[in-house]
Amino acid sequence: MDKNYRALELDKILEMVAKETTCEDGAEMARAIEPVHTAQEARRLLEETDTAFVLMAKFGAPSFYGMKNVTNALRRAQAGGGLGLRELLDIGGTLRAIRSLQQWHGKNAGMHTVLSPRFDILAPNKALEEKIFTCIQSEEEVSDAASPALASIRRKIRGAAARVREHLDRLIHSQAHQKHLQEAIVTQRGGRYVVPVKAEFRGEVPGLVHDSSASGATVFIEPMGVVELNNEIRVLRSDEQEEISRILRELSGEAGGFADSLIESYQYAVQLNVIFAKAQLAYRMKAVVPEIDEKGRTDLRGARHPLIAADKVVPTDIVLGEGFDALIITGPNTGGKTVALKTLGLLSLMAMCGLMTPAGEGSRVPVYRHILADIGDEQSIEQSLSTFSAHMVNIIRILEVADSGSLVLLDELGAGTDPVEGAALATAIIEELRRKGVRLACTTHYAELKSYALETDGVENACCEFDVESLRPTYRLLIGVPGKSNAFAISRRLGLSGRIVERAGELVSQESSSFERVVERLEERRRELEGELEAARKAAQQARESMRQTEAKQAEAGLRAKREIQQAREEAARIVQKTRQQADALLNELDELRRRENKSLSAEQKARLRAGMRDLESSADPVAKRNQEGYRLPRDLRPGDDVLIFDIDKKATVLEAPKEGQVLVQAGIIKTRVQVGNLRLLGEKQREKGRPGRTVTKDVSTPEATTSLDLRGMNVEEGLLEVDAFLDHAARAHVPQVTIIHGKGTGVLRAAVQRHLRRCPQVKGFRLGAYGEGESGVTVVEIK
């Protein structure tokens, strides 16, 4: 890896990526990642990482478990060679991983992404995969299911072995041979079944001696009665090995036939493994995709060095290339200057490698041809180089390579030699690098460089903030503010004699003292402004929170009001319904009494009773009527006019001319008499007079679906008209069942309604009401 990249610790970041991979080739590919040097390539790599990041967030990470580099084994199989059990199992595991990847992509990522071409190239071979795992149980054993011949041979071996053990069990348990045996067990020597016999009785057990114990006290004899059976087992074992070899050759041949597609699939799977490892690392770092800037501008917001623990790292803002091309960072030691320098370089390299950067949204970085760094103490004893000399060797190399597409990072520029000469040399180096058009960031303690930055266009001061009270750095990088060494203040806080500190102050040159005082005043003013800005931010946040709470309360109050109005309307409807039922019951009773006396109420008496009912409804309605607002009809109402019933905001049609200040109207399926003063005449898109800003049209919105119709008090002709309109509305509203209330009375209206229902196309069936539904006073209708 390039020395500059190693100085910025890119190798450690790539090692973190390698640890997120699941196969050795993926880890090696991650460690070998190199920064790209064009904006187009960087955007492509970042888009791949971002796509993997999004897919992981939506569907979880795909599994790459089981992938192995089987290229050599496949090439050998392709050339006709045989593969071992372990190699075939590795091929099967790789095939399973490839199939798992393709299934994951097909199931979860239906849309086309920049990663889709890689997934599409994957070529699983489920048949070969299943055959390998069916035939091979482990790297030491082939399954009986590998072939019928193998299963038959092993069955014969088990049968022959059982017969041998049966014969030998009889021998070791026989009384004749009990004293001849060292132990009453059956064992094996050289793949043949034998029994342990005492050496002095070896002639008492006829058979073949295969082995003896280390002490010579025991000999292992194969009795003559099982020699043939053992020979049979030996032949079967040989057949078994031949069949296993044939099976492995067959599997090897099939694997070799798919070698090219499998090797290609594996290579793309490794690439996907690395891309998803980048995304996994971004998830752990809480990183974002930076914008790639083609004008050489860096704007890192809340940047965090990825190698510092998350609970210790301090986010910092770094700007370069916008208004200035050189940044001079000053401040005390251990204040975070070098960390800021490394963060700038490392995050730029990460973006160029296609890695998301641990920074805030909206961050942007350019792509550089060269990132050159001289960071750290590279004193070399072997080359007889001092610290200053080592730095100069690096800077000379940097000056030779640097151009307009370079980012140069210099730590402690000019340090390690005489301060006057070091400051002059540092200034000259900065001027030369700026002449080459580089983007430059360097750290220093020299006051001369602070002054140079103040006096030179395109060069900006920056410092790492230091809290003198606690003697601790805050690690915040402040752009535009020269750093203050704070040596006197720190020494005083640590307990150095005030007399010594004062004397040191007297020895400092007048110019240096003046400069430090200016810097101190700037720092005080910056802190004041920062405090005011923070207070303003808090006030704005509180105002936004108050506004949000107010809006939430208003919305809640509105919903509560709507609910209360709805409850009131429902209660009013209930009261009106109850009142109407009571009035209807009264009318029915009166009709029944008149019928018994062969008399009937006159039309005038019925009209008075109905008027009384309306008065009863009005007095029982708890909902306040809307203000009439002095409206006058522009002309007399005529049948067919479209009107608005003002107090309930309902459109209706005039059916009859007004009589005695009332008019009969139809609203939806309901006919009712309304006071003329409660009506508003509607025209085609005519604005309602007396109520500016409200426009009503002739449209009649679909009425709300109701499930009951009350015909009581109507004659047969009126009732059947109402039934037709009611059923038509119910059918359009897809109401499955409705109730028609006709009362019991003489039964004339009920009979007429039921005859009419038989002819209605909307009716599927009907029945009289059951107990609790109104019995013979209602008809329950099922709608088609």
DSSP string computed for 331-349 = --TTSSHHHHHHHHHHHHH
pLDDT in tens, 42-97: 999 999 999 999 888 888 888 888 888 888 988 988 888 888 889 899 999 999 99
User: What pLDDT score does 695 carry?
Assistant: 38
596-654 pLDDT, tens digit per residue, is 655 555 555 555 555 655 555 555 554 444 555 567 788 888 888 888 888 777 888 88
Token code pair at residue 432 = 């030369």
pLDDT at residue 590, rounded to an integer:
67
125-129, 382-386, 405-409, 528-532: which has the minimum mean pLDDT? 382-386
pLDDT of residue 698: 37
Comparing 160-174, 296-310, 373-387, 716-730, which segment has the lowest mean pLDDT? 373-387
Predicted local confidence at residue 609, as pLDDT: 57
Report the C-alpha gap between 667 and 419 in whole angstroms: 98
Residues 266-282, mean pLDDT to the nearest whole number: 93
For position 348, what pLDDT does the model report? 92
Whether 315 has a pLDDT exceeding 80, the answer reads: yes
Highest mean pLDDT among 168-177, 204-213, 288-297 belongs to 288-297
Greater pLDDT, 343 or 519? 343
Q: For the residues of 497-541, what is the DSSP string, one character each?
A: -HHHHHHHHHHS-HHHHHHHHHHHHHHHHHHHHHHHHHHHHHHHH
- Give the pLDDT confidence score for residue 619 in this predicted structure: 54
Residues 6+ apart with CB under 8 A from 63: 97, 100, 101, 104
Tell me whether strands 662-667 and 670-675 are parallel, antiparallel or unpaired: antiparallel
Burial class of residue 729 in the structure, from the number of CB atoms within 10 Å of its CB (0-12 exposed, 13-18 middle, 19+ buried): buried
What is the tens place of the pLDDT at every residue in 687-698? 343 343 333 333
Strands 708-710 and 737-741: parallel
Which of 490, 497, 441, 453 is closest to 335 using CA atoms?
490
> Among 529, 315, 527, 548, which residue's Cα sits nearest to residue 540?
548
**Statement: residue 126 has pLDDT above 60:** yes
**Is residue 750 pLDDT above 80, yes or no?**
yes
pLDDT band of 365, cuts 50, 70, 90: very high
**Counting Cβ atoms within 10 Å, is residue 662 exposed (0-12), middle (13-18) or buried (19+)?**
middle
Confidence of residue 521 (pLDDT cuts 50, 70, 90): low
Quickly state the pLDDT bin for 493 (edges 50, 70, 90).
low
Maximum CA pair distance of the chain? 142
Q: Is the pLDDT of residue 769 over 90?
A: no
Of 2-16, 485-499, 750-764, the poorest mean pLDDT is in: 485-499
pLDDT value of residue 507? 65
Distance CA 288, CA 294 (A): 19
pLDDT tens profile 2-35: 888 888 889 999 999 999 998 899 999 999 999 9
Least confident piece of the model among 160-174, 251-265, 476-490, 741-755: 476-490
Structure confidence at residue 745 (pLDDT)? 78
Which DSSP helix (H) or strand (E) runs through 594? helix 510-596
Residue 321, pLDDT > 60, answer: yes
**193 by DSSP, 3-state: which?**
strand
Structure confidence at residue 604 (pLDDT): 58
Neighbouring-strand partners of residue 316: 303
- The average confidence (pLDDT) of the chain is 80
Of 27, 28, 45, nearest in space to 36 by CA: 45
Per DSSP bridges, beta strands 316-320 and 298-303 are antiparallel
pLDDT over 80 (residue 753): yes
**pLDDT over 90 at 274, yes or no:** yes
Residues 6+ apart with CB under 8 A from 715: 749
Confidence category of residue 412, pLDDT binned at 50, 70, 90? confident
pLDDT tens, position by position, 176-205: 666 777 677 778 777 788 888 887 777 777
- pTM for the full predicted model: 0.61
For residue range 234-244, what is the model confidence (pLDDT) as tens digits?
A: 888 888 888 88
| Helices within 302-444 (DSSP H only) | 337-352, 387-401, 419-435
| Residues in CB range of 643: below 8 A, 6 or more apart | 637, 651, 652, 653, 654, 665, 679, 680, 681, 682
Q: Give 402 or 519, the one with higher predicted confidence.
A: 402
Q: Quick one: pLDDT at residue 167? A: 79
pLDDT at 334 over 70: no
pLDDT given for residue 291 in this prediction: 92
End-to-end CA, the chain = 80
The answer on pLDDT for 356 being more than 50 is yes
151, pLDDT greater than 70:
yes
Nearest Cα neighbor of 10 from 306, 245, 405, 402 is 306
Token match 């501008």: residue? 297
Sequence-distant (6+) residues with CB within 8 A of 380 are: 390
539-591 pLDDT, tens per residue? 888 888 888 888 888 888 888 888 888 887 777 777 777 777 776 776 676 66
